[in-house]
Structure 1
Amino acid sequence: MARSAACPARSNRAHGPVDKSLGSELDHQSQRDMPSQSRETPFTNHGHQAVSADRKPMNRLLTTATGLALCLGSIGAVQAAPSLPVAQPKAANLARMRAESLNGGLASYRAAACMYETGASSCLISKSDQGFLFGFLGGPPGWQQQSPPRPTLETRVLVSQDGERILAVPYNGPIP
């Protein structure tokens, strides 16, 4: 089998313990004169280069610093995202499910894609003391994939501020 120069694990070195007394005095002299940075790192029993003891703390430090940077970066990203009221996603799901129920279930009706987004912000008409008012189109399954999309129904649903109750369905019918 040919040995690959690209794979450091496949070297011409013997793996396992090596009898150091086999080397010549010249080899020992040349190793002593070499700067410590250019000495070759010994191989483990598995053919991989061993990490010297003085590099282990540096590896731990690098791993810790990387983890800390990732954590701090993700905290900033979370803080930068606009926050929704906790009740808004619940209210949107409740409004969508009411429309599905009123219009024959999922076998015959699908709400607009905006109602499947977290919080349905693009379908939210208003948020007030009365609650969340959602307005959206709907139609038979696949209506949004048609070119152009052909919705058949429009629905407006008012949900309580806590997102727990349907207060009213002001409109559910053909598109005016």
Structure 2
Amino acid sequence: MKPLLTTAAGFVLSLGGISALQAAPALPLAQPKAANLARMRAESLNGGLSSYRAAACMYETGATSCLISKSDQGFLFGFSGGPPGWEQQSPPDPTMETEVLVSRDGDRILAVPYNGPIR
């Protein structure tokens, strides 16, 4: 009887975990694609990976913590960056700030409203 109760309890707990996973809002499929495109544009504008690294938030799936807005226009990302290793300094010392607007489908850069020194 005890093994049966243990199995039943495990099943109920696993179902609870599934519902918790389903409760989290899903990212639109275009958002991770848009984030990657925005990060790559900033890398290109700022000298490539040999001289520039975007903030760590741009390497997270969908870059949700760098997402300024999501609208009918598209995804607007805002993030800092700097030379390789800037985030590992204490304190981190970014030298650049970038904003990139990507289309709703994540396929095109629509605008780069800002790419320059930290404001």
TM above 0.5: yes
Pick aligned residue for 1:139 from 67, 72, 82: 82
Q: Residue 118 of structure 1 corresponds to which residue in structure 2?
A: 61
Q: Residue 164 of structure 1 corresponds to which residue in structure 2?
A: 107
Pick aligned residue for 2:12 from 66, 69, 72: 69
Q: CA deviation at 1:71?
A: 3.6
Give the length in aligned residue pairs.
119
Report the structure number with the largest CA radius of gyration: 1
Residue 18 of structure 2 aligns to a residue whose secondary structure is helix
Q: What residue identity is the alignment partner of 1:113? A: A
Q: Which runs of 4+ in 1 moved over 6 A?
A: none
Q: CA deviation at 1:152?
A: 0.8
Structure 1: state its 5+ residue gaps: 1-54
Matches of 1:83 and 1:102 in 2, distance apart?
A: 31
Cα distance per residue 1:14-51 (max 9 Å; x no partner): xxxxxxxxxxxxxxxxxxxxxxxxxxxxxxxxxxxxxx
Cα distance per residue 1:72-108 (max 9 Å; x no partner): 1221121232322221111111111111122122221
Q: Residue 21 of structure 2 corresponds to which residue in structure 1?
A: 78
Q: CA deviation at 1:149?
A: 1.4
Q: Residue 109 of structure 1 corresponds to which residue in structure 2?
A: 52
Higher relative contact order (CA 8 A, sep 6+): 2
The answer on 1:173 being equivalent to 2:116 is yes
Q: CA deviation at 1:171?
A: 1.5
Pick aligned residue for 2:30 from 78, 83, 87: 87
Relative to its length, the structure with more strand (as a share) is 2
Percent sequence identity over matched residues?
82
Q: Residue 29 of structure 1 corresponds to which residue in structure 2?
A: none
Matches of 2:53 and 2:16 in 1, distance apart?
A: 38
TM-score w.r.t. length of structure 1:
0.60
The Cα RMSD (Å) is 2.0
Structure 2: state its 5+ residue gaps: none
